[in-house]
Amino acid sequence: MVLLGGYLSVKSITFLMFAVFAIAVVGYSLGRITIKGVSLGTAGVFIVALLFGCFYYLPLQDQLMVNEATFVSNALKIVENMGLILFVTSVGFIAGPNFVGNIKKNFKSYVLLGLVIILVGGLSCIGCIYYGRTNTDLTNPELTAMMVGILSGSLTSTPAFSAAKATVTEELEALVSVGHGIAYLFGVVGVVLFVQLVPKLMKADMAKERELLTADTQHTRKMPENLLKMDEFGFMPFALSAVCGILLGSIKIGNFSLTTTGGCLLMGLVFGHFGRFGKISVTPEAGTLKVFRELGLMLFLIGAGISGGAKFVEYFNAVYFIYGIIMTVLPMIAGFFLAKKVMKLSLLNNLGSITGGMTSTPALGTLIGVSGTDDVANAYAATYPIALISVVIISQLIIIWFS
């Protein structure tokens, strides 16, 4: 193989880019397959990336020289990290305008519910770590990395996934990816099924539930007219928010940091909340944010999925799938009954909050279809950022305390 500067040839670099787009084509096609109203969505991309890592990238590594394998690994990290920045920054911008208003009005419901769901998920993860120590050959750091990956997959949380990978040592990153991949499929399907089955089991009257939901109105800020836009699509404020987030995430206090995930998410929320600095608009166009969110998620899942797939076969164990089911089901059940029995939330507010607390965008899309109204997204938007930040923090703390 002809090398450029000790690295891969132009043809090989082109192949890597071809592979990224090919995985996207096949992954999205898989995600569109619907069986009784259930589909994988973007999760299909991650599954295809895992399979590519298992059956192509893993044997390819054995054929490459050391510097070639290093280049491929670094190239995948670039794809992964670029996707991460695009995704979490977009999420922050999208949630920002309603974040403060919804917190003020619904703290005891939306915010507390998000915290409880993530806490139950974290406690489930810790319980599985203790149980797993007597039933596995993995060392404590390896087991903890695997379990935190399973937690992020169970909660379908890309930021928690990336934060966990950033917190463990480089040797353990693949285990986080494997755990995430094992649990992610049920993490997506489980929540999607939950929001479809609960209304049917409760024989809910959707017309009545929609009326109850309208009692909670959206609180958005009114932007002044004639603000100066730095560019047509809002690329400049998006980039500025990402730069600030990366810098914030690089600050370390002991072993703890927000990482790029937490930093970009927090700065996205801040920029999205204020919307302008003086007469300058710092709000990207809605279409820009939607495209960046989906593109970022796609790139992140491809980069992480390929590298994780290379270790998937080596470490897969059916018991880890069971752990994933536990970490998905227990938080949902706890959150649902807390919201219903203690907080007395209406059914659609309850389920909307659960999709946010479980950080499940596919489940939100399903719930919108089931309920017949976009208003369920209000509860999701209020709960989602709290859950997102909480799961990032709890994932890092579990790694620090139990490794």
Place of tokens 């977009």: 90
Predicted confidence at residue 6, as pLDDT, reads: 45
Place of tokens 């300058």: 280
Distance CA 143, CA 155 (A): 18
Nearest CA to 352 out of 344, 361, 343, 26 is that of: 361
Percent of the chain with pLDDT over 90: 26
End-to-end CA separation in angstroms for the chain: 41
How many domains does the structure of the chain reveal? Answer: 1
The 8-class DSSP code of residue 163 comes to H
Predicted confidence at residue 1, as pLDDT, reads: 38
Indicate the pLDDT class of residue 21, thresholds 50, 70 and 90. Answer: very high
Predicted confidence at residue 129, as pLDDT, reads: 94
Helix (H, G, I), strand (E, B) or coil at 34: strand
Distance CA 157, CA 193 (A): 18
Distance CA 194, CA 114 (A): 17
This prediction has a pTM of: 0.73
For 349, the domain range is 89-292+311-402
Residue 80 lies in a domain: no
Predicted confidence at residue 338, as pLDDT, reads: 93
Note the pLDDT tens digit of each residue in 104-162.
777 778 888 999 999 999 999 999 999 998 888 888 999 999 999 999 989 988 778 88
Is-contact 395 158, C-beta < 8 A? no
Residue 326 has pLDDT above 60, yes or no: yes
Predicted confidence at residue 322, as pLDDT, reads: 94
Residue 21 lies in a domain: no
Note the pLDDT tens digit of each residue in 234-275.
999 999 999 999 999 888 876 667 778 778 888 998 998 898
Residue 70 lies in a domain: no
Predicted confidence at residue 3, as pLDDT, reads: 43
Predicted confidence at residue 95, as pLDDT, reads: 76
Predicted confidence at residue 331, as pLDDT, reads: 96
Residue 350 lies in a domain: yes
Residue 142 lies in a domain: yes
Predicted confidence at residue 384, as pLDDT, reads: 81
Question: Which residues have a Cβ under 8 Å from the Cβ of 136 and sit 6 or more positions away?
Answer: 143, 317
**Which residues, listed in sequence order, are joined to residue 38 by a DSSP beta bridge?**
35
Predicted confidence at residue 186, as pLDDT, reads: 83
Note the pLDDT tens digit of each residue in 52-61.
888 776 666 5
Mean residue pLDDT of the chain comes to 83
What is the arithmetic mean of pLDDT over 190-214? Answer: 85
Name which of 61-70, 134-143, 202-211, 224-233 the model is least confident about: 61-70
Indicate the pLDDT class of residue 2, thresholds 50, 70 and 90. Answer: very low
Residue 40 lies in a domain: no
Note the pLDDT tens digit of each residue in 26-46.
999 998 887 776 666 777 888
Residue 35 lies in a domain: no
Helix (H, G, I), strand (E, B) or coil at 228: strand
Predicted confidence at residue 71, as pLDDT, reads: 67
Let me know if 276 is exposed, middle or buried by CB neighbors in 10 A (0-12, 13-18, 19+).
Answer: middle
Residue 147 lies in a domain: yes
Dihedral sign (CA 100, 106, 108, 112):
negative
Tokens at 21, concatenated: 């787009």
Place of tokens 């560019």: 231
Dihedral sign (CA 394, 398, 401, 403):
negative
